[in-house]
């Protein structure tokens, strides 16, 4: 179990990794796994055990919910065909291919399918962190694939574990029923949880309660789906996508600020903690293996990692060829070309979901006997995660240069369009709003001048002219406003230190200054 010492050590490990990973040019997840492996040699941490249910309930809903909230629904709709194929069929093909390979290498079918299912899904968090250099469409497709394939792989994983432990027997109708219940029930549970969340959000009027509701939605969706035997992962993803579309219409600016800060920090901690904990578990598992088993495990890690890349490439090219034939006959055009497939083939990072499934493998069968090859499953999964992250993150920049994907300017263009349209419509509505609010002419004239100046800045940004007078005036004004806000904040601190104002007054006023400073810091070029 997790003690207070481990909680402190986890925080220190995450902080240390964040500070030195970039300088060492090492992917943070790899460094966290190494730190976890080293911690396993400390007696206090040598017997750390992660309860299977706690791993799936604590880590997965939060990590996947944030990824769902921050993905693009429009891009998912545009690339739905590829996402569905890669999120369902590719997962089954990968799990089956790895299981066959492992069985050939001497592993029984049950553990082989469990391990195949564990390493089959790509990880949304790892994809988001390690593919920032890709165009937006490619990143969105990879992240959406990761969100969908988690639901598929957990069904395969659940069937493999249940059959291996003796809890269920494998039949066509059994598997079909589990798949149907997993998808339909999971999506239904997610939609229900999202609907309940929106109903409550419409009725609460305090920021704290709004944040609490937002926090509860993914866990309610996950537990509701699991209660009926459906996919909790798909429930969380469905709820997250719905809330991402409806939430901004319901909550307030203060709530949105806190939600962004809270969830980004929470998922950062959970993701880092999971890698450290699995590093500990992997080393504990390795220490229970004989030397010959460790060498065998290392061989399995390499073989499985190579198989994952080859299976992914084979599927992408087979699917791409099929789509090309279909679109050629129908007169359409495939959305992905060979360059996109080349990049996608080397972007199949494994991460937290695979690790969580490996650790969640039960320790015993229904008969009470130990689960076969459980320690090897954890060891190999951790090794595959490390090898795919290290190897593919090194190869991916080279592949990108080879693929020469066109630069993605759509986000910058759409942001300028959105800001321009919002300001133009605000200026058009200014007289009417001034009458309704009772603003005087001087105030209206000042605001009109400010908005028109902002519009000039947007136009100058679109022309990509850094020497434009409007940009220079804007940047100078922002720098001056920042200096003034920081000076006001320093004055508040001096008044508090001189005992002229209370800490409560400092916090109240400083909150407004902080929001103003954050706004000014955001007024920079894209």
The owner of tokens 């954890």 is 378
Average pLDDT over residues 6-34: 81
Element of type H or E holding 166: none
Reported as a single tens digit per residue, the pLDDT across 25-67 is: 777 877 888 888 888 888 777 777 666 566 667 787 888 888 8
* Span of 157-161, 259-263, 333-337, 463-467 with lowest mean pLDDT: 333-337
Contact status, residue 163 vs residue 110, Cβ threshold 8 Å? yes
Closest CA to 277 of 58, 123, 50, 29: 50
- State the residue for tokens 């190999």: 380
Helix ranges (H only) for 70-206 are 73-78, 80-84, 90-104, 109-119, 124-130, 136-165, 172-180, 186-203
| pLDDT for res 525 | 45
Place 292 in a pLDDT band, splitting at 50, 70 and 90. confident
pLDDT of residue 117: 92
Contacts of 3 (CB under 8 A, 6+ apart): 44
Quickly state the pLDDT bin for 86 (edges 50, 70, 90). confident
Is 128's pLDDT higher than 60? no
Contact (CB, 8 A) for 358 and 377: yes
| In contact, 254 and 207? CB cutoff 8 Å | yes
Distance CA 301, CA 211 (A): 42
Q: Quote the CA–CA distance of 337 and 341 in Å, as a whole number.
A: 6
pLDDT digits (tens, 9 = 90+) for 508-522: 888 888 888 877 776
* Neighbour tally for 421: CB within 10 Å: 10
Tell me what the pLDDT averaged over the chain comes to. Answer: 81
Confidence band for 125, pLDDT divided at 50, 70 and 90 = low
Can you tell me the distance from the alpha carbon of 276 to that of 373, in angstroms, rounded to the nearest whole number? 22
Where residue 526 falls among pLDDT bands split at 50, 70, 90?
Answer: very low
Taking residues 395-404, report their average pLDDT: 74
Confidence of residue 337 (pLDDT cuts 50, 70, 90): low
Give the integer Cα–Cα distance in Å for 117 and 308.
12
Q: Is the pLDDT of residue 406 over 70?
A: no
- Decide if pLDDT at 148 tops 90: no
Q: 79, exposed or middle or buried, with CB in 10 Å at 0-12, 13-18, 19+?
A: buried
370 forms bridges with which residues in the sheet?
A: 364
Distance CA 520, CA 482 (A): 7
In the prediction, which pLDDT does 324 show?
A: 61
Name the burial class of residue 276, with classes exposed (0-12), middle (13-18) and buried (19+) by CB atoms within 10 angstroms of its CB. Answer: buried
Among all chains, which residue has been given the structure tokens 């605001």?
447
Residue 115 has pLDDT above 80, yes or no: yes
Please, are residues 126 and 352 in contact by the beta-carbon 8 Å criterion? yes
pLDDT at 99 over 80: yes
Q: What would the two tokens of residue 87 be?
A: 């999120």
Per-residue pLDDT for 332 more than 60? Answer: no
Contact indicator for 470, 453 with CB cutoff of 8 Å = yes
Q: Residue 364's beta-bridge partner residues?
A: 370
Q: Which are the contacts of 301, defined by CB distance < 8 A and separation ≥ 6? A: 379, 380, 383, 384, 387
* Lowest mean per-residue pLDDT among 91-105, 138-152, 288-302: 138-152
- Cβ-proximal residues to 43 (8 Å cutoff; 6+ apart), any chain: none
Q: What is the tens place of the pLDDT at every residue in 375-387?
A: 889 889 988 988 8
CB 186 within 8 A of CB 231: yes
What's the rounded Cα separation, in Å, for the pair 392 and 350?
10
Token readout for 200 is 């409550």
Which of the 8 DSSP states describes residue 88?
I
The most distant pair of C-alpha atoms in the chain lies apart, rounded to whole Å, by 85
Structure tokens at 214: 């937002």
The b/e string for 443-461 (b: 16+ C-beta within 10 A; e otherwise) is ebeebeeebeebbbbbebb
Q: How many degrees, rounded to 5, is the angle at CA 217 between CA 75 and CA 91?
A: 50
Residue percentage of the chain with pLDDT more than 90: 15
Name the more confident of 51 and 472. 472
- For the stretch 197-209, pLDDT in tens is 999 888 887 878 8
Q: Looking at the DSSP assignment, which residues form a beta bridge with residue 427?
A: none
pLDDT at position 179 is 77
Q: What is the pLDDT of residue 177?
A: 78
CA distance 246 to 249: 6
């Amino acid at each position: 179990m997790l003690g207070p010492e481990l909680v402190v050590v986890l925080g220190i490990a995450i902080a240390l990794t964040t500070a030195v990973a970039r300088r060492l040019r090492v992917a943070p997840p790899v460094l966290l796994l190494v730190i976890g492996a080293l911690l396993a040699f400390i007696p206090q941490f040598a017997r750390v055990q992660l309860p299977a249910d706690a791993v799936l309930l604590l880590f997965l809903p939060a990590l996947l919910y944030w990824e769902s909230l921050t993905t693009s629904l429009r891009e998912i709709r545009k690339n739905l065909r590829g996402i569905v194929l890669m999120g369902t069929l590719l997962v089954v093909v990968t799990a089956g291919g790895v299981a066959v390979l492992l069985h050939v290498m001497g592993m029984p079918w049950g553990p082989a399918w469990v391990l195949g299912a564990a390493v089959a899904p790509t990880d949304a968090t790892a994809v988001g962190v390690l593919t920032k250099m890709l165009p937006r469409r490619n990143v969105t497709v990879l992240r959406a694939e990761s969100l969908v394939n988690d639901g598929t792989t957990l069904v395969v994983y659940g069937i493999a574990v249940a059959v291996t432990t003796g809890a269920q027997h494998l039949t066509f109708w059994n598997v079909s029923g589990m798949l149907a219940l997993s998808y339909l029930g999971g999506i239904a549970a997610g939609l229900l949880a999202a609907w309940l969340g929106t109903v409550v959000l419409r009725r609460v009027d305090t920021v704290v309660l709004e944040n609490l509701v937002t926090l509860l939605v993914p866990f309610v969706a996950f537990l509701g789906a699991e209660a009926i035997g459906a996919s909790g992962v798909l429930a969380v993803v469905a709820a997250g996508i719905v809330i991402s579309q409806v939430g901004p219409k319901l909550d307030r600016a203060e709530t949105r600020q806190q939600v962004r800060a809270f969830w980004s920090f929470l998922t950062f901690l959970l993701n880092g903690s999971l890698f450290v904990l699995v590093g500990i578990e992997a080393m504990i598992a390795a220490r229970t293996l004989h030397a010959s088993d460790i060498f065998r495990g290392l061989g399995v890690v390499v073989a499985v990692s190579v198989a994952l890349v080859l299976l992914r490439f084979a599927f992408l090219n087979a699917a791409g060829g099929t789509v090309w034939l279909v679109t050629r006959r129908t007169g359409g055009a495939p959305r992905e070309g060979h360059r996109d497939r080349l990049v996608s083939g080397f972007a199949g990072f494994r991460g937290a979901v695979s690790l969580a499934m490996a650790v969640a493998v039960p320790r015993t069968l229904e008969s009470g006997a130990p689960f076969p090859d459980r320690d090897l499953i954890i060891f190999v999964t951790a090794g595959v995660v490390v090898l795919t992250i290290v190897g593919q993150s090194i190869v991916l920049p080279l592949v990108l240069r080879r693929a020469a994907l066109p630069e993605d300017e759509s986000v910058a263009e759409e942001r300028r369009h959105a800001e321009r349209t919002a300001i133009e419509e605000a200026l058009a509505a200014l007289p009417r709003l001034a009458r309704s609010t009772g603003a005087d002419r001087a105030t209206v004239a000042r605001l009109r001048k400010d908005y028109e100046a902002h519009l000039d800045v947007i136009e100058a940004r679109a022309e990509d002219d850094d020497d434009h007078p409007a940009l220079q005036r804007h940047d100078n004004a922002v720098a001056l406003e920042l200096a003034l806000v920081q000076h006001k904040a320093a004055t508040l601190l001096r008044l508090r230190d001189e005992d002229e104002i209370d800490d409560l007054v400092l916090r109240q006023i400083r909150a407004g200054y902080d929001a103003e400073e954050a706004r000014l810091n955001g007024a920079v070029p894209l």
